[in-house]
Chains A and B, each alone.
Chain A
């Protein structure tokens, strides 16, 4: 949860070469994700991913008031990773980030690569890595799954903000103390991440009660085949 625009980098924060560099990082990462997500092979994956991207988009579109003057919305990196897996989740979120930049000018066009790297790629990858590391706990009980989802939501939000700190260290415009910047940015996002973690956990909890077979993280390879068939 965050003020609706805080995480989208605008133009001019990073210099041109860094912007281009992270554009290339995002494109390369997406190419790997598309191949590993087998999105071009299975004619069913892409349409389904389209609907789930619409779901993530709708969740980001609707703000709800947290405090007077502060509204928040889900960012969904860990949620996408847990529900859809790290590859398809990254593809869905990257489409969301690109369309937000083109349709709403949300995030700069030159910062698009950096924004995709932070939110669509780093967020889902780190969120999934955390969830995968604790998958044993997630499979054991409902409380375990909720704890893992909370942790993944928290860590993925912090990871996305840490991505910004790294980008600023490479191509930022002023010589501010990086330690101070990292402290502020990561500190703020740790608080935001608690909200993200709570929502992620409760959402996963609601889904696991009805259709546990749809949750990528806890699906076994057999049920995954079954669902794909």
Chain B
């Protein structure tokens, strides 16, 4: 797919790391962030520093990430509400008594949610969609998953484009639904689109059979990934995991 994708073409060392390494590193890094005790404020500082370092290597500007990080906004709301609705001992912040536990919980969601979305955005910005699926395939994702994901990414633009064209066709013929009344048009459009997608799926399957489809996506030759590249690609996750281990170490 091309439209709406976050991938930023580039040739940085971050871009060149094999996708399976990047996927594992991203998951490990986010898990490390989430597992870090919320009182270990310094650890989140280290995590943020690691993310910033990866961006500077990848050559993606900070502002780009900031604009896209708003996707987690609904949970920021939760973070803001928690200090006021949680139980437990109260502390005064700017003259307002708020729950100490709720304050920490809010901070926890804000810090981990933000770091999580930044790490995921880093993965999305430096990896092509089809490479992401290839990485999942090399990480032994089930064959059905790889097939569905590959075809989905290949055809989502086609189908979204069809949806857009039917909408324009509808509007250009004088239909102008507003507010809730557009539900009818949207839903009937969805029904038509389902039928077209189904029939396209049947045609695609027959075309695949004609080209020798045997039930699973060919992976193509994969160059073996040397230990050095695993270490290089995994190093940010390693730093974050170390920060977690130190923070969580029972003193």
Whether B113 and A62, one on each chain, are in contact in the complex, defined by CB atoms closer than 8 angstroms, is no
Whether A62 and B164, one on each chain, are in contact in the complex, defined by CB atoms closer than 8 angstroms, is yes
Question: Using Cβ atoms and an 8 Å threshold, which residues of chain A touch B201?
Answer: 47-52
Which residues B40-95 have CB closer than 8 A to chain A?
Answer: 68-69, 71-75, 78, 82, 85-88
Q: Does B245 contact A (CB under 8 A)?
A: no
Query: From residue B130, how far is it (CB to closest CB) to chain A in Å?
Result: 11
Q: Does A36 contact B (CB under 8 A)?
A: no
Which residues B18-49 have CB closer than 8 A to chain A?
Answer: 23, 26-27, 30-31, 33-35, 38
A45 to B163, CA, bound (A): 24
A12 to B72, CA, bound (A): 11
Give a binary string over B172-194; 1 marks a CB under 8 Å from any A CB, 0 the rest.
00000001101110111011111
Whether A105 and B186, one on each chain, are in contact in the complex, defined by CB atoms closer than 8 angstroms, is no
Question: Using Cβ atoms and an 8 Å threshold, which residues of chain A touch B145?
Answer: 91, 95, 98
Question: Using Cβ atoms and an 8 Å threshold, which residues of chain A touch B113?
Answer: 10-13, 108
> Could you say which of A128-136, A137-145, A197-205, A218-226 contacts chain B?
A197-205
Q: Does B160 contact A (CB under 8 A)?
A: yes
Closest A residue, CB atoms, query B215? A43
Question: Using Cβ atoms and an 8 Å threshold, which residues of chain A touch B110?
Answer: 12
A173 to B164, CA, bound (A): 42
Q: Does A191 contact B (CB under 8 A)?
A: no
Which residues B198-230 have CB closer than 8 A to chain A?
Answer: 198, 200-202, 204-205, 208-209, 213-215
Query: From residue B165, how far is it (CB to closest CB) to chain A in Å?
Result: 12
Whether B198 and A11, one on each chain, are in contact in the complex, defined by CB atoms closer than 8 angstroms, is no
- Specify which of A39, A53, A92, A177 lies most central, judged by the most chain B CB atoms within 10 Å of its CB: A53
Question: Using Cβ atoms and an 8 Å threshold, which residues of chain B touch A5?
Answer: 71-74
Which residues A92-111 have CB closer than 8 A to chain B?
Answer: 92, 95-96, 98-99, 101-106, 108-111
Whether A44 and B205, one on each chain, are in contact in the complex, defined by CB atoms closer than 8 angstroms, is yes
Whether B149 and A95, one on each chain, are in contact in the complex, defined by CB atoms closer than 8 angstroms, is yes
Whether B205 and A99, one on each chain, are in contact in the complex, defined by CB atoms closer than 8 angstroms, is no
Closest A residue, CB atoms, query B74? A6
Whether B159 and A103, one on each chain, are in contact in the complex, defined by CB atoms closer than 8 angstroms, is no
Whether B191 and A52, one on each chain, are in contact in the complex, defined by CB atoms closer than 8 angstroms, is no
Whether B191 and A202, one on each chain, are in contact in the complex, defined by CB atoms closer than 8 angstroms, is yes
Q: Does A174 contact B (CB under 8 A)?
A: yes
Give a binary string over B3-14; 1 marks a CB under 8 Å from any A CB, 0 the rest.
011100000000
Closest A residue, CB atoms, query B103? A174
A108 to B111, CA, bound (A): 13
Question: Using Cβ atoms and an 8 Å threshold, which residues of chain B touch A3?
Answer: 74
Q: From the candidates B6, B147, B155, B156, name the one contacting A46 in the complex (CB within 8 A).
A: B147
Question: Using Cβ atoms and an 8 Å threshold, which residues of chain B touch A110?
Answer: 27, 30-31, 34, 116
| Pairs A-B, 9 closest by C-beta atoms | A12-B112, A50-B151, A206-B191, A11-B116, A202-B187, A174-B105, A51-B201, A105-B120, A16-B35
Q: Given A99-B129, A108-B120, A195-B183, list of 7 further CB < 8 A pairs?
A: A5-B71, A19-B31, A47-B151, A174-B105, A199-B190, A202-B190, A203-B187
- 11 A–B pairs (Cβ distance < 8 Å), ordered by A: A11-B113, A47-B208, A51-B198, A57-B159, A91-B145, A104-B71, A105-B117, A174-B106, A177-B87, A198-B187, A199-B190
